Amino acid sequence: MSYKIVVDSCGELPEKLKEDGHFQTVSLELFVDDYHVTDDEHFNQKEFLRKVKESPNCPKSACPSPEAFQEAYDCEADHVYAVTLSAQLSGSYNSAELGKNLYLEEKGEKKIHVFDSKSASIGETLIAMKIQEYEEAGCSFEEVVAKVDAYIAEQNTYFVLETLETLRKNGRLSNIKAFVASALNIKPVMGSTSEGSICQISQARGMGKALDKMITTLLSRVKNPEQKILAISHCNCPERAQTILEKVKSLGKFKDVFVIDTAGISSMYANDGGVIMAV
């Protein structure tokens, strides 16, 4: 059976997957005051980060329309899967479901399933890669859905931010807490919950110690790492990501590890210097 995997643009696709005909990205939109950009191959990360830094207001995003997902589903593939940002963080999941309903109403029956990643960024990427793994192994549509749901249930996503400004601007952190954390150089270690929301797991003084805590937390919680792929995404800090990669390789053994730069939506969440890990 032929298949297609649709991923909203928060899921960064490595070049190999971009060139693979089985994958398609559906873009979100980004706004900083009157500056607007589509999160696609033309996204300029440095310009966007400069706009965010200069603005007193929080950057905003808009999820893809149901029609955008509907169009992506309209293909020759027998099995179509969509992977979206956590429904707790974005309307992308609901939009993908509405797009599915629109397609089925207009075109008739087709096997389409929308996965709520309960994650973001490379968490979505790994889920898309898992779908392909099971499809290539010859699993039925129903088996792929069940196996990927099980993978999502045990997936872990963590991140550490260089700056808390975006969290302060969007109201997730008070001005006082943000000021104290900045003054004391406190870096929170954040992670995703089983429902797909964000929680603080730990904190440390200084980026180096916070990253070490993120690494040790991930390694302590992951099951059967030798059977899994670890992904690292970074927002404009390749040297930091490389340091994490080397530490992870010295402390644990994974099936594979890859590093990628954040695209638009992930850059908005992570901000300049942020790092995300998922497995």
For the chain, the average pLDDT equals: 92
Q: Which of 179, 162, 181 is nearest to 267 (CA)?
A: 162
Q: What is the pLDDT of residues 7-54, one digit of tens each?
A: 999 999 999 999 999 999 999 999 999 999 999 999 999 999 999 989
Which pair of structure tokens corresponds to residue 61?
Answer: 């995003």
Residue 179 has pLDDT above 50, yes or no: no
- Give the Å distances, CA to CA, from 155 to 117, 211, 230: 9, 19, 10
Alpha-helical segments (H) within 121-169 = 122-136, 141-154, 165-169
Residue 176 has pLDDT above 70, yes or no: no
How many Å from the N-terminal Cα to the C-terminal Cα in the chain?
A: 28
Residue 146 has pLDDT above 90, yes or no: yes
3-state secondary structure of 59: coil
Half-sphere exposure of 12 (CA within 13 A, CB side): 22
Q: Work out the average pLDDT over 83-104.
A: 97
The better pLDDT of the pair 82, 58 is held by 82
Which pair of structure tokens corresponds to residue 179?
Answer: 């000021």
Query: Which residues are within 8 A (CB) of 33 and not within 5 positions of it... i.e. 6 or more apart?
Result: 51, 55, 57
DSSP calls for 30-53? EEETTEEEESSTT--HHHHHHHHH
Q: What is the pLDDT of residues 149-163, one digit of tens each?
A: 999 999 999 999 887
Residue 115: its H or E element: strand 111-116
Q: Work out the average pLDDT over 181-189.
A: 73
* pTM given for the model: 0.94
Residue 184 has pLDDT above 70, yes or no: no
Q: Domains of the chain, with CATH numbers? A: 3-28+63-153 (3.40.50.10440), 157-278 (3.30.1180.10)
Encoded amino acid at 244, one letter: I
Angle between helix axes 238-251 and 207-221 (nearest 10 degrees) is 40
Residue 79: its H or E element: strand 79-84
Residue 173 has pLDDT above 70, yes or no: no
Residue 77 has pLDDT above 90, yes or no: yes
